[in-house]
Structure 1
Amino acid sequence: MSTPLHADALTLLQSWTPPTAAQAALRERYVEHLRAHPDGLTRECRPDHVTASTVVLDADRSHVLLTLHAKARRWFQLGGHCEPGDRTLGGAALREATEESGITGLQLLAVPVHLDEHVVPFCGPTADVHHLDVRFVALAPAGARHTVSEESLDVRWWPVDALPDRDLDELVAHALAQSISSDSPGGGSTWAAADQPSR
């Protein structure tokens, strides 16, 4: 039986316009996964499940907040698994970003910016779990101060043109472009409260 979160994620992905052919192929992969698996957003769904993450930009979009993941020992955007109380995929992304950064008042862009499928060897008792990550963009309030959660070794602002891992370059570039586009008249995307169902 479909949950509100499952219905929201399926509607959101079906209505999303991917920026590239590769992203369009991934979107179809995600949609097929959700159609086949009513539990497809839970960590119990194996070997694949949908996750949610957020690229957090500072108020002037010159820096991005990244976490040094305690298990992976690499710098990533903030995010993780959906939880039973999440009602929207954007809400899950915002909850994870808030928990991992300690920043309240993050402003989330209501549509995804990027999709990425990757193998996670440390996700539970079985090997080769695939995270089907849906990535969003959020702006932090001016002067926001962050904290380090127990899931992280460090949390730090990085200049958008001097990232610690080249694998982040494409994601952050997409996030910057979409955040700027959404501010312009007719940009087609709006900054919204993440607990509102996707339309």
Structure 2
Amino acid sequence: MGIPDFIVSLRERIGTAPLWLSGVTAVILDGPRVLLVRRSDTGEWAPVTGILDPGEGPAVAAWREAEEETGVAVEVERLVAVGTTGEITYPNGDRASYLDLTFRCRYVSGEARVNDDESLEVAWWPVDALPDMSADFLARIRNALDDGPGTRFVRPGDDVPRPAGDARGPAA
């Protein structure tokens, strides 16, 4: 789908200034494999991610993004992690930070394929032989694979990586 219309409208007013957005990650599992996309903006392998549309529920957004980006139907099983990203600068200069809600999703049906312009490739990977990707995306996948109870989140005092140049320095 590309950049949502409401983001395009905001960017017309504020240019590339930083935005704080709500996003989702859909870690799509089918037995011992996970569905990944190779992003067209960075070339990086990652789980399915996306921005919530205004008024949209997070689990609905994860379900929608899975279908939009890969053509597969999923069942959103549970929320596995709540986190934030540092500021991301996209190739076009736009800057954003995200509150990310990571969901464990179970593959239901459909043939995985590149289904929009946000991905260069879509492929199933064995969970024990993942391609190179950021530590953040690997952590999201690990959280989805963990069958333990509860949702992971950062507590006050946890060691949190800060964006480069953050005047507060490392988290206490």
TM bracket, shorter-chain basis: 0.5 to 0.7
Query: Does 2:64 align with 1:95?
Result: yes
Residue from 26, 51, 55 that aligns with 2:27: 55
RMSD value, Cα:
2.6
Structure 2 unaligned spans of 5+: 1-5, 11-16, 152-172
**Deviations 1:86-129 (Å, cap 9, x if unpaired)?**
5311111111111111012x110242434241332128764x32
For residues 149-160 of structure 1, what are the structure 2 equivalents within 5 Å? 149=115, 150-160=117-127
Query: Does 2:45 align with 1:79?
Result: no
What SS does the corresponding residue of 1:148 show, helix, strand or coil?
A: coil
The residue aligned with 1:70 is 40
Aligned counterparts of 2:83 and 2:150: Cα–Cα separation in 1: 19
The residue aligned with 1:184 is none
Amino acid in structure 2 at the alignment position of 1:163: L
Equivalent residues of 1:53, 1:79 under 8 A apart:
yes
- CA 1:172–1:118 in 2, change beyond 3 Å: closer, same or farther? same
Structure 1 unaligned spans of 5+: 1-41, 182-186, 190-199
TM-score, structure 1 as length reference? 0.59
Aligned counterparts of 1:57 and 1:102: Cα–Cα separation in 2: 14
TM-score, structure 2 as length reference? 0.67
The residue aligned with 2:87 is 119
The residue aligned with 1:107 is 75
How far apart are residue 175 of structure 1 and its match? 0.6
Question: Percent identity, aligned pairs only?
Answer: 27
Equivalent residues of 1:67, 1:155 under 8 A apart:
yes
More helix by share: 1
Aligned counterparts of 1:137 and 1:111: Cα–Cα separation in 2: 6
Aligned counterparts of 1:113 and 1:129: Cα–Cα separation in 2: 20
How far apart are residue 130 of structure 1 and its match? 1.1
The residue aligned with 2:112 is 146
The count of corresponding residues between Structure 1 and Structure 2 is: 135
